[in-house]
Structure 1
Amino acid sequence: MARHSMSGCTARTTFHLIGPQSWTAVPAALVYDSTDPFAVRVRFGDDDDRAHDDGSAYEAAGADDAGSDTAPDEDGGVEWLLSRDLLRAGLVGPVGEGDVRLWPARGGLDVLFLQLRAPSGEALFEVSGAAVGQFLRETDALVPVGTESELMRVDDELTALLRGGTDNPTSH
């Protein structure tokens, strides 16, 4: 069931951390906010009992390259910032360099692999490709592909930068 706000959407899902001999279910949320139209946040440790048994739920939520923000959020989880385009491309073929890499499983399986690297180590996850695809369709309904630049507040960001401020003017 999908619910939207004017500014974003959230998909709660489960990523599976692949270990040497087993895997561990990790609750997570894919978060999109139209005030940062090129980015998708992956919040690991986002445990919420509204998630369905199939690992997916949608809830309203108030760059061509991927980046990471591995600092714990206020709830103690970890958040990574990914490019929406990178996430979309990872559904159909291998993409990414450095800290973030994505690729679909072979043989038509509904699996997307996500490899994350940080100074503290690296992790390999698998997640439902269908869940990621559905989430991306929800983001496209909010901000169609190719229209992201129209939402950027470049003048506000440039003014803040020239004033020497480090605050993000789009995070009001």
Structure 2
Amino acid sequence: MPGCSTRTTLQLVGPTSWTEVSAALRYDSGDPFAVRIRFGGRAEAVDGDDAGSGVEWLVARDLLHAGLSRPSGDGDIRLWPARTPGDVLFLELRAPSGHALFELSRAVLAGFVADTERLVPRGQESEVVDVEPELVALLRCERPDADGR
């Protein structure tokens, strides 16, 4: 399945200083509702399936689209534009172990979201997902495949 990815640098907002954090955004049209954000790790993990590097979060593509222009998200993932004009968005991630606040470029995220929408236009995600084989397996009470499907 086609996909797209981009690398960027986010600023981890700390109480007294900010720290640069490398990140990679990855979209796969086979999972059209989601975007993966990998923080840190090796560069080759962006295009491969090297789950051992960095930390990865799964984010709804609609949340990223909405967060470009207004506060978006509830709970673990929130995104909103800065109140001042410019190229700044804030991304907050919450986990049981704590939370992190990042500053990122609106232009970089907007470009990436536009790339994903060229692959699968918004509102057409369900046309790309082939759920029929999954439903047939569930209705027959078949066991999942070895890969968890």
Tell me the TM-score normalized by structure 2: 0.88
Partner of 2:4: 9
Unaligned runs of 5+ in 1: 1-5, 50-58, 63-71
Select which of 21, 26, 29 maps to 1:26.
Answer: 21
Q: Distance in 1 between matches of 2:137 and 2:19?
A: 43
Task: Tell me the amino acid that sits aligned with residue 51 of structure 2.
Answer: D
Partner of 1:123: 100
Q: Distance in 2 between matches of 1:7 and 1:111?
A: 29
Q: How many residues align?
A: 144
Select which of 51, 61, 64 maps to 1:73.
Answer: 51
Partner of 1:103: 80
Do the aligned partners of 1:28 and 1:47 also contact (CA within 8 Å) in 2?
Answer: no
Q: Distance in 1 between matches of 2:79 and 2:68?
A: 8
RMSD: 2.1
Partner of 2:144: 165
Tell me the TM-score normalized by structure 1: 0.77
Q: Distance in 2 between matches of 1:159 and 1:23?
A: 51
Task: Tell me the amino acid that sits aligned with residue 125 of structure 2.
Answer: E
Select which of 112, 131, 140 maps to 1:154.
Answer: 131
The percentage of counterpart residues that share the same residue type is 58
Q: Deviating runs (4+, > 2 A) in structure 1?
A: 46-49, 156-162, 166-169
TM-superposed deviation, 1:158: 2.4
* 1:20 alignment partner, SS class: coil
Highest CA radius of gyration, 1 or 2? 2
Distance 1:160 1:29, change over 3 A: farther
Select which of 114, 137, 143 maps to 1:137.
Answer: 114
Q: Distance in 1 between matches of 2:133 and 2:88?
A: 40
TM-superposed deviation, 1:7: 1.0
